Structure 1
Amino acid sequence: MKTLENKVVFISGGADGIGRAVVERFLAEGACVTVLDLNQEKLEALQAQYPETVRTLCGDVTSYADNAQAVALTLDAFGRLDSFVGNAAVFDYFAPLSRLKPENLAESFDKLFHVNVLGYLNGVKASLEALKASQGNIILTVSNSGFYPGGGGVLYVTSKHAVVGLIKQLAYELAPEIRVNGVSPGATDTEMKSVEGVSSKAQPLNHIQGFHEKAADAVPLKRIAKASDHAALYVLLASNEQSPMTTGCVIHSDGGWVAR
């Protein structure tokens, strides 16, 4: 029997990057999946590839209504919800506070935190009753920036530290019905985009000159991760049978930052 046979999962930010790798791994493990994302083209391709086991919704994680619609779509299509995976996030192109213009600071903060923190809260809130009914679980994508400085700029690093706090508080609040955990990827070869307005030079993460080499050299394992390198950890945390006593925990998948 596959690890997630007959399980149903709602994933935000699942059309590309780490989220897409998690979707594909969950499907391989027998789950049905609903994906909320803004990328209509990639959602359509995903739906076409997996017509029976995937449902998609083009929407914004910063909207509670869109998250609630995704949950309703999930329940209508599959009859239950066992896991919510919050994954959608935007970067800040390593912008330090000194480079953020005072007149843009509040707007940049709001844009990034609305996606990286409020987006997770919306997904959790919308999923709550269905997850209580299934005695399910929540998995949030953190980052090594949730524990160490320098992996992003002041806004991104602060937002990911907030996600760590969110995991701990939700694990406390939602026990014993719902387990809440996180996965903390390190530098990964994805096209993660930066929030608008923080830098005129902003570009997708893996387009930055020297990114792959510098990221690999910074960790003991000496390589940059593929998106799929992290996916098995989400499966582990989504399985109430394989991790029944794990809550309030973040699993690091970052090439050994903690050892360094």
Structure 2
Amino acid sequence: MTRLAGRSALVVGGGSGIGRAAALAYLGAGARVTVVERSAELAAALRKETDDRVTAVVGDGTTPDVLAAGVASAGGGGGLDHLTCCVGVFDHYASLRQLDTAQLLAAAEETWRLNVLSALLAAHAAWPALRDTGGSITLTLSESAFRPVGGGVLYGSSKWALRGVVQHLAADFAPAVRVNGVAPGGTTDTRFSGLDALGQSARSVADSVGRAERIAAGTLLGTAPTPADHAAAFLHLADPVAARVVTGQVLLVDGGRTPS
């Protein structure tokens, strides 16, 4: 497939999970791909797997300097055409009933910074380059942005906020840049760190025993998606022909949530 041939894509948080799957999909469709990844180990693994066809900027994708470096690297070969944001943190279903005030303040600030502000900072950094190419942005949401499943109130509300970001940013950046989102349902084979503020940083959703079975049981298709299952949605939205008139939209890819 060469539907992105000659185009450049930047994936912030592209070293693992859904971000990595999106980056590989863009690469397979002919794009020049750059990822921002805080883990030097994951960045090196991705470069090795792709025979150095993916460029990696190692650093924290929530900081302006690193994001600026990512945009400059991705745009150095003739401009930046697409930005995908995949930075995020999970709250492991934390309940406000069980948090004291100090924990709530710290956890809410961390959740907002990683799940929402990171996307705004990335879009801000990429805007001039994307404006010049008539490019596009895809943000990563969650089924939690539509209903109270797949996380606690901190995580869920941050993803609801990203739904607003998609629609408002689509209006703000129109008509030069398209802005959309993908909202995956529960996904297996992905690493998703917990909140430092709640002592969850060593945990990952992938560590939960029986998680794949629970996900499959809650979907109409009876399946537990992998990151690669979501890649086609990202690829569609990055395609300047297939999604030429698509902006302000969120694709919900959850296997069909079983009615409760």
The TM-score by the shorter chain falls in which range?
over 0.9
Q: 1:33 is matched with which residue? A: 33
Structure 1 unaligned blocks of 5 or more:
none
CA contact (8 A) 2:184 2:230 kept: yes
How far 1:259 moved relative to its partner? 6.5
How far 1:38 moved relative to its partner? 0.9
Q: 2:234 is matched with which residue? A: 234
1:16 aligns with 2:13: no
Q: 1:180 is matched with which residue? A: 179
CA distance in 2: counterparts of 1:165 and 1:72, whole angstroms? 28
Q: 1:150 is matched with which residue? A: 149
CA distance in 2: counterparts of 1:43 and 1:126, whole angstroms? 21
Q: 2:204 is matched with which residue? A: 204
CA offsets 1:178-227 (integer angstroms, 9 cap, x no match): 00001110000112111123256972102112211111111111111011
CA offsets 1:137-196 (integer angstroms, 9 cap, x no match): 000011000111031011100100000000000011111110000111000011211112
Q: 1:251 is matched with which residue? A: 251
CA distance in 2: counterparts of 1:53 and 1:126, whole angstroms? 23
Amino acid across the alignment from 1:181: N
Q: Which runs of 4+ in 1 moved over 4 A?
A: 199-202
Amino acid across the alignment from 2:70: A
How far 1:48 moved relative to its partner? 2.9
User: Which piece of structure 1 moves more, 95-104 or 113-122?
Assistant: 95-104
Paired-residue identity, %: 35
Distance 1:200 1:181, change over 3 A: closer
CA contact (8 A) 2:37 2:61 kept: yes
**CA RMSD of superposed structures (Å):** 1.7
Equivalent position SS for 1:104 = helix
TM-score of the aligned structures, taking structure 1 as reference length: 0.95
How far 1:101 moved relative to its partner? 2.1
CA distance in 2: counterparts of 1:123 and 1:181, whole angstroms? 14
1:75 aligns with 2:69: no
CA contact (8 A) 1:93 1:198 kept: no
Equivalent position SS for 1:197 = helix
Amino acid across the alignment from 1:206: A
CA distance in 1: counterparts of 2:36 and 2:201, whole angstroms? 28
Amino acid across the alignment from 1:4: L
CA contact (8 A) 1:167 1:248 kept: yes
CA distance in 1: counterparts of 2:48 and 2:248, whole angstroms? 36
CA distance in 2: counterparts of 1:31 and 1:259, whole angstroms? 39
CA offsets 1:102-153 (integer angstroms, 9 cap, x no match): 1121111111211110110111001000000000000001100011103101
**What is the 5 A alignment of 1:84-233?**
84-189=83-188, 190-198=190-198, 203-233=203-233
Distance 1:125 1:93, change over 3 A: same
User: Which piece of structure 1 moves more, 141-150 or 49-58?
Assistant: 49-58
User: Which piece of structure 1 moves more, 193-202 or 42-51?
Assistant: 193-202
Distance 1:140 1:200, change over 3 A: closer
CA contact (8 A) 2:36 2:61 kept: yes
Q: 1:45 is matched with which residue? A: 45
CA distance in 2: counterparts of 1:150 and 1:259, whole angstroms? 12
Structure 2 unaligned blocks of 5 or more:
none
Distance 1:130 1:259, change over 3 A: farther
Aligned residues: 259
CA contact (8 A) 1:3 1:235 kept: no
CA distance in 1: counterparts of 2:15 and 2:201, whole angstroms? 25
